[in-house]
Amino acid sequence: MNQGLPVERVLVTGAGGFVGRYLLEALNRHYPGRKIVGTGLAPEGGPLVPLDVTDAAAVRRLIGGLRPDICIHLAAVASVDMSFQQARAVWDVNLEGTLNVAEAILELVPACRLVFASSGEVYGLSFADGEPASEQTLLTPANPYATTKAAADLALGEMALRGLRVIRLRLFNHTGPGQTEQYVLPRFAAQVARIAEGLQEPVIHTGALDRWRDFLDVRDVVDAYIAAVQAPEEGFYVNVCSGVARRVGDILDELMAVARVSAQVVQRVSEVRRTDMRCAVGSPQRAAVLLGWRPRIAWEETLSSLLTHWQQNAGRSR
């Protein structure tokens, strides 16, 4: 653990989301006795502090009152599909909300380190060259979600020149128990589990299967956030990825094989996005150098834990 950076108060925005729940647990484990505050769009009295990051005054009140040493900014609209349907709302949260947090930190608590959840989606059309994206790869986002993340990423890079102590993590696809069926692997695992339990006919509906993606376990992503908290310096950006391209259709086959399920696979053409890249994989080398981070969870364990979760929740409504 890095002892050079004092960590007494940590703020996690968007802590009610998929990654946030894992991250709060990890922070409390790494920093026992410290003040760990998570925010979310939650009712009064819940475990999270209610905060809408688009409300600049509310953000300033919270940050000015808490005066965190570390702020991990997860709050975002993370669905690519939703970004096509409600693009303006996604801009409000993903860009304006991020600027609200960063500006409050820079003005009120300039010693605070900001760790920002960017996205591997920012490389977009650059994946067409077939090479793993490095941090020097051109940002060419190909959907509204990715564009909002690229804009926020670049804005924070400029603010770093004015003294913002920021680390930008460009996170590639990640999954694990608790992720919703909005995302491809939980959607597969949920359908496989329901078929195994006789709760769904043996037909699996999918989007594009002939796609290669770079997947991580959510626990590895949390490790990257902890590494960013403990890093001796800030002011840089890194990919958080496995560096391994996995074919989406093959992952579905793996899940069916583990569950011993046979099913007809039906691809819905309407779910295939026109700007979808055939292969999107990143290079994790810079994260190893600057964060000392590498993925540690075996792929088989990731799939097993995801499938087990949905087998235990097979009757859950979609």
Which pLDDT value is given to residue 260? 96
- Asked if residue 52 is part of any domain, the answer here is yes
Q: What is the mean pLDDT of residues 171-185?
A: 96
Which pLDDT value is given to residue 272? 61
* CA contacts within 13 A on the Cβ side of 20: 24
Q: For residue 302, give Cα distances in angstroms to 53, 174, 209, 259.
A: 32, 10, 19, 14
- Asked if residue 157 is part of any domain, the answer here is yes
- Asked if residue 202 is part of any domain, the answer here is no
- Asked if residue 134 is part of any domain, the answer here is yes
- Asked if residue 272 is part of any domain, the answer here is no
Whether residue 316 has pLDDT greater than 70: no
- Asked if residue 136 is part of any domain, the answer here is yes
Q: What is the mean pLDDT of residues 176-201?
A: 96
Interval 37-48: pLDDT, tens: 999 987 666 789
Structural domain boundaries enclosing 123: 9-175+217-241+282-296
The two three-digit tokens of residue 77, written as one number: 């609209």
Q: For residue 248, give Cα distances in angstroms to 9, 38, 188, 192, 228.
A: 40, 33, 10, 15, 30
Quote the pTM value. Answer: 0.95
Other C-beta atoms closer than 10 Å to the C-beta of 151 total: 19
119 phi, psi to nearest 5 deg:
-150, 145
Q: What is the mean pLDDT of residues 227-235?
A: 96
Give the number of residues written for the chain. 318
Q: What is the mean pLDDT of residues 224-229?
A: 98
> Residue 53, SS3?
coil
- Report the domain count for the chain: 1
Burial (CB < 10 A; 0-12, 13-18, 19+), residue 208, is: middle
- Nearest alpha-carbon partner for 192 in 124, 115, 257, 278: 257
H helices of the chain, where?
18-30, 56-66, 80-85, 87-91, 98-108, 144-160, 184-196, 218-230, 248-259, 285-290, 299-312
CATH number, position 138: 3.40.50.720
Q: For residue 223, give Cα distances in angstroms to 39, 218, 226, 283, 293.
A: 20, 9, 5, 17, 8
CA geometry: angle 64, 70, 76, nearest 5 deg: 85
Interval 70-80: pLDDT, tens: 999 999 999 88
- Asked if residue 314 is part of any domain, the answer here is no
- Asked if residue 304 is part of any domain, the answer here is no
Question: Do 315 and 267 contact (CB within 8 A), yes or no?
Answer: no
Q: What is the mean pLDDT of residues 48-58?
A: 97
Question: Do 101 and 116 contact (CB within 8 A), yes or no?
Answer: no
The two three-digit tokens of residue 235, written as one number: 């002011």
CA geometry: angle 187, 190, 195, nearest 5 deg: 125
Which pLDDT value is given to residue 270? 63
Whether residue 51 has pLDDT greater than 70: yes
